[in-house]
């Protein structure tokens, strides 16, 4: 019976994700879903990436997902882009964003003319990968301080994402991390995953990542 209900929840989510996609196509918008463990640097990456996307002519909106607090939305707002904050605490403290809350967030962003909407999912390497948000590109962030074994231990997340953004490259040496081993391990799980290596602090890799997302936008919308 539990399994039946989980199936129903996922099937219902698929329907709502399809609705998200229809709406995006109608409005000629792309939707990118950023996922990672807590503290991998999702918010800081968005803070630094959004101006790069703006410089490429993309009008960007953001959906911030957290169990509680509006801290992340408060960090994005000064960039002058519209933000919809979702708190899952009133809904049982959900550990992921599902398509129904994305639809609600798109309603909130409706008044703004946007090209690309970026989702910052709840910090969690497990559950968000199980719920289709309706995004046309799933991205996983993985910081060099988290250990080289993460794709092996959380394979669904790394299989679900077409693009891996390695973060905190400036900490590679202090953390004693092995970037080549990270790349080799993620390719054991997802051989043709694309990899962008970045440091939000030094700016390394951000222009290239913005160009990659702008390219994705064009291919999705036109």
Would you tell me which residues interact with a second copy (CB under 8 A)? 1-2, 5-6, 9, 37-39, 41, 66-69, 71, 92-93, 95, 122-127, 130, 143, 145-147, 149-150, 152-156, 168, 170-171, 174-176, 201
Residue the block writes with tokens 């933000």: 83
Q: Is 69 helix (H, G, I), strand (E, B) or coil?
A: coil
Q: How far is the CB of 115 from a second copy (least distance, A)?
A: 29
Of the pair 29, 133, the CB lying nearest a second copy is at 133
Q: How far is the CB of 40 from a second copy (least distance, A)?
A: 8
Task: List beta partners, residue 140.
Answer: 35, 164
Q: How far is the CB of 200 from a second copy (least distance, A)?
A: 12
Contact 101, 119 (CB under 8 A): no
Of the pair 58, 63, the CB lying nearest a second copy is at 63
Phi and psi for 14 in degrees, rounded to 5? -60, -45
Of the pair 116, 122, the CB lying nearest a second copy is at 122
List Cα–Cα distances, 36 to 44, 128, 139, in angstroms: 13, 9, 8
Q: How far is the CB of 119 from a second copy (least distance, A)?
A: 16
DSSP string of 76-139? HGGGT--EEEEE-GGGT--SS--HHHHHHHHHHHTTS--SEEEEE--S-SSGGGGS--S-SEEE
Of the pair 150, 216, the CB lying nearest a second copy is at 150
Q: How far is the CB of 120 from a second copy (least distance, A)?
A: 12
């Amino acid at each position: 019976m539990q399994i039946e209900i989980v199936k129903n929840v996922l099937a219902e989510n698929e329907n709502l994700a399809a609705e998200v996609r229809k709406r995006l196509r109608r409005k000629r918008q792309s939707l990118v879903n950023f996922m990672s463990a807590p503290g991998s640097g999702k918010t800081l990456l968005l803070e630094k990436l959004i101006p790069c996307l703006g410089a490429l002519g993309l009008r960007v909106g953001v959906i911030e997902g957290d169990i509680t607090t509006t801290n992340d939305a408060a960090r994005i707002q000064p960039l002058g882009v519209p933000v919809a904050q979702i708190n899952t605490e009133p809904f049982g403290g959900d550990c992921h964003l599902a398509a129904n809350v994305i639809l609600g967030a798109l309603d909130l962003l409706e008044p703004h003319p946007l090209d690309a909407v970026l989702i910052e999912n709840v910090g969690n390497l497990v559950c968000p990968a199980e719920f289709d948000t309706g995004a046309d590109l799933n991205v996983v962030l993985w910081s060099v301080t988290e250990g080289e074994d993460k794709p092996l231990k959380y394979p669904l997340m790394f299989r679900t994402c077409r693009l891996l953004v390695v973060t905190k490259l400036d900490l590679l040496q202090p953390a004693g991390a092995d970037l080549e081993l990270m790349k080799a391990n993620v390719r054991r799980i997802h051989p043709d995953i694309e990899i962008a290596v970045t440091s939000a602090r030094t700016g390394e890799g951000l222009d290239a990542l913005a160009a990659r997302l702008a390219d994705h936008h064009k291919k999705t919308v036109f």
